[in-house]
Chains A and B, each alone.
Chain A
Amino acid sequence: MMVTKRSPEKQIPVTDVHLAKKAKLEEDESNSTVNGDQTIPEKIKSKKKNESILINPELEVRIEPDKTRRSQLNTTSHLIRTFKTEHFTLNSPDVMSYTHCGQVPHVTADLCSSTVNGDVSIVPLHSILTCIKVLEKLNKSLAEFVKTNNKIILNPFNSSEPCDLTAFNDQLGMSVWGKGGRKKITSKEYLDIVKISKPELFVSLSDVVPSSVNKKRANKSCYRTLQWVTEAIAFLEGNSGVTSQLLAPIPGSGDRQLMMKSANLLASRKVFGYVIERATLPTENWEDLVRDVVSILPDSRPVFMLGVLNELEIVKAYNCGCHFVDSSFVLHFSNRGQAMVLDSANPTPLPEPSRNPDHASTEEANKDFGPSLAENIPSEISGETEDKKKKKRETGKVLIFKPEHYIPSKSLTLDLVSAVYTRQFLKIAESCECFTCERHTRGYINHLIITRELLAPTLLMLHNMYHIRNLVNTVKAKVEGGSLERYEATLEGVFRIS
């Protein structure tokens, strides 16, 4: 369906003098420090004031969820959809492949069948910063440069690793952690990057902060994020040649009032769709809030939840009316040597493999030639060392998620790093038909993990991505059968038991 005609921007009276003053102050700062020549057009300035009022915590604007829509969010008519523009089509529900530089991490293109890769890639901004100048010079779009046929969603926030990275954001822009450390990206710089890289969709800059921050900080994040949305809209209006579609992040760091207000404001803005960053939501019990938020967004626009933490959260996100999720958590599982084995069609907890007396103990597995391997088992197979990461972040103040948040309930994944699997020459999952399961065994992957071979995360990515696509197919069937809610409850039970 085509994007509906926009309703006129809502006019909100200026009532809060303090915030308006503060906005003015920050504005001056922005003009004097970085881009002296970059003056904000009058029109934007006035909008900015409006927004700062909207999110004023003292202003009691209660926004009620749309109860009728809320009850229909997990139905076929809401979830199973086609979102079309002149340039691309998105089919929901779907999982967007999380990539680095447009490549599914660890997996070369020849192994990326559609069952692994899908047809939409999330590209985190940090992974392409070093090629923007080249793209500009060669006049190539990002898709042409990285040779992908997938539609690209450029996301300035890295949903895969949202650890305290946002502590450095400020009024001028967002901090992005790429090769060589932190880089501040201003709104103007980011929009230039969009113009050069020509993604099908882009998320505007967002000041992502966790739900644990105080109201003042949360308020500030709303102000900045909405400001950046406004600038992105102005940019698209002023650059008719740019066909990239805008996804607006919904700020509010899990605070109901702030998120509802932000959503209410954004509902009337000229955007293609919306993004809820999982990192801004509370650890648990966010479903009601998300459902309320989605219920007041226009029905014609897709909602993305980026940064979900496991399979259950994927199902929850769909059940709350989100059309798309991403696969960033799969990378963490794969890097840690974990294979997903939840049977999505028939979710039951797996028997705990370590209780099986048939399997060799650690000592026995390693008695052959060398001493115990326990000391050599990597905490993470690839990527940076913990030390490096620590160093990178030690100056950060706000901590959102630690990697351990990505550990799911034990019995729904095989921890293939464990010596229990050393002598198991079976598929990861009996019924799985992925590249890995058709060729390799648990024992071989266990060996690759212990010897820190690059192939370990490759094989695990292939299995885990396939697994996630299966889950989405199950979800589709459940939506069509009207039983998504029941399915979520079953799955929740399985996760709780295990």
Chain B
Amino acid sequence: MHVGTQGTIKGVTTKQLNDLGVPIILGNTYHLGHRPGPSVVDAAGGLHKFMNWDKAILTDSGGFQMVSLLKLANFTEEGVKFQSPHNGTEMLLTPEHSMAIQNALESDIMMQLDDVVSVLTKGERMYEAMERSVRWLDRCQAAHKKVSTQNLFGIIQGGLEPEWRLKCLKKMISKDCPGYAIGGLSGGEEKEDFWKTVSICTDHLPKEKPRYLMGVGYQVELVVCSALGCDMYDCVFPTRTARFGSALVRTGQLQLKNKMFSEDLSPIDDQCSCLTCKTYSRAYLHFLLNEDTTGVILLTIHNIAYQLRLMSDIRKSIMEDKFPDFIRTFFSTMFPDKSYPSWVVDALSSVGVNLV
């Protein structure tokens, strides 16, 4: 899933996204709730019509954005209290409010409002956040007005504590959501803890329902977590990294602003069929990135194409029953010297794929 924070993906038109084959995009409830506001999007006939996008849209709850953007966010049983960054007045985002906004946006997948704490939080507060997220899921389900057209996903919390994750899984699965997200990860935890927590969740989540791993999008993580059983990801990674001049390739990343590319007439990836690779050389992109915003747009297009291809290759290899081979090829290309991170080796061996 690609992140379209403000109802757009950095400079790329919806026609271009469609041509690339993007199946779903993510809209941030916090941003869209603020500008243009749910009543405007509602008046436009929903977010799809507003931005002219007829494929799927997922919206988040708005809670996470507040925690990451606003230092003063404060969670109470009622909801998230925060100070408006614009005029300083105190505002409150409740589960009901989040549902109302997401109902107005008419996204295909909506996320429950959850109690977000840092993954490194220990003890009581983390447990409270897990329990509260379960209670808020109830309130979200009760407030959700368009059950027949919009899917509300629950978000599994519980930090790095296996017991709490299991407890949360049990409670939330009983609420029969159409899909589940694994929340609270990718926040600076040890990789060892990260994959083990993902693994606990995927072991217990219902097989027939989509599992969405929130906040994950690096190439290596996508492959490993797909092997662990996740289906969906979001990440600002391909678009954000483009903003810094970085191109995603099978061997990792190319920092195109680096002088070493200034005379390189080859495309970013000679096997990529995106507009950027079909038309332009690395040398030209190196030059353009330093001169004009169009360079960032071209790079964003390539990075999205890269990530879509990676995911469709994963999907294809699973269907053909060749996923372990795919994984081995992927990692030997990414780490030609076979210096695989140990967490990758451990995580993959837990599902029977041996890299070494």
Contacts and interface: CB of A to CB of B under 8 A. Distances in A.
A443 B44 contact: yes
Nearest to B10: A454
Nearest to B33: A369
A443 B279 contact: no
B14 interface: yes
Contacts of B290: 130, 179
A455 B293 CA distance: 11
Contacts of A109: 275, 279
A368 B6 contact: no
Q: Of A105, A147, A179, A453, which is in contact with the most chain B CB atoms at under 10 Å from its CB?
A: A453
A109 B16 CA distance: 12
Contact of A439 (B13, B283, B287): B13
B294 A451 contact: no
Given A370-B34, A448-B6, A454 B11 contact: yes
B296 interface: yes
Contacts of B298: 108
Interface string A438-463: 01110110111011011100110000
A370 to B, nearest CB: 4
Contacts of A425: 43-45, 49-50
Q: Of A107, A131, A137, A372, which is in contact with the most chain B CB atoms at under 10 Å from its CB?
A: A131
Interface in A407-465: 422-423, 425, 435, 439-441, 443-444, 446-448, 450-451, 453-455, 458-459
A110 interface: yes
Interface string A135-167: 001101000011100000000000000000000
Contact of B52 (A100, A444, A447): A444
Given A448-B6, A454-B10, A454-B296, A439 B40 contact: no
B11 A106 contact: yes
Interface stretch (B81-89, B112-120, B199-207): B81-89
Interface residues of A, number: 52
B101 interface: yes
A394 to B, nearest CB: 23
B70 interface: no
A182 to B, nearest CB: 16
Q: Of B7, B33, B36, B38, which is in contact with the most chain A CB atoms at under 10 Å from its CB?
A: B36
Nearest to B36: A447
B291 interface: yes
Given A109-B279, A369-B33, A370-B84, A455 B13 contact: yes
A486 interface: no
B191 interface: no
A375 B87 CA distance: 10
B37 A458 contact: no
Contacts of A370: 34-35, 37, 84, 86
Nearest 10 A/B pairs, CB to CB: A368-B37, A454-B11, A451-B6, A371-B87, A370-B34, A369-B33, A131-B287, A447-B36, A371-B86, A455-B8
Q: Of B40, B263, B290, B293, which is in contact with the most chain A CB atoms at under 10 Å from its CB?
A: B40
A376 B294 CA distance: 24
B301 interface: yes
Given A101-B291, A147-B279, A454-B10, A137 B263 contact: yes
Contacts of A455: 8, 10-13
Interface of A: 100-101, 103, 105-111, 127, 130-131, 134, 137-138, 140, 145-147, 179, 365-373, 375-376, 382, 422-423, 425, 435, 439-441, 443-444, 446-448, 450-451, 453-455, 458-459
A441 B34 CA distance: 19
A423 B42 CA distance: 10
Contact of A365 (B37, B44, B51): B37
A148 B39 CA distance: 44
B71 interface: no
Contacts of A110: 16, 275
Contact of B8 (A106, A127, A365, A448): A448
B31 interface: yes
Interface string B35-75: 11111100111000111100000000000000000000000
B10 A101 contact: no
A146 B283 CA distance: 10
A179 B291 contact: yes
Given A137-B263, A369-B101, A454 B37 contact: no
B265 interface: yes
A111 B348 CA distance: 43
A444 B51 contact: yes
B297 interface: yes
B52 A367 contact: no
Contacts of B12: 455
A369 B7 contact: no
Nearest to A101: B291
A450 B34 CA distance: 11
Nearest to A145: B284
B288 interface: yes
Contacts of A130: 287, 290-291
B48 to A, nearest CB: 12
Given A369-B38, A443-B50, A455-B12, A107 B7 contact: no
A111 B13 contact: yes
Contact of B291 (A100, A422, A441, A451): A100
Contacts of A366: 35, 37
Given A105-B292, A425-B49, A440-B52, 9 more contacts: A107-B294, A110-B16, A131-B287, A147-B279, A147-B280, A369-B34, A423-B44, A441-B50, A447-B36
A368 B38 contact: yes
Nearest to B87: A371
A453 B296 CA distance: 13
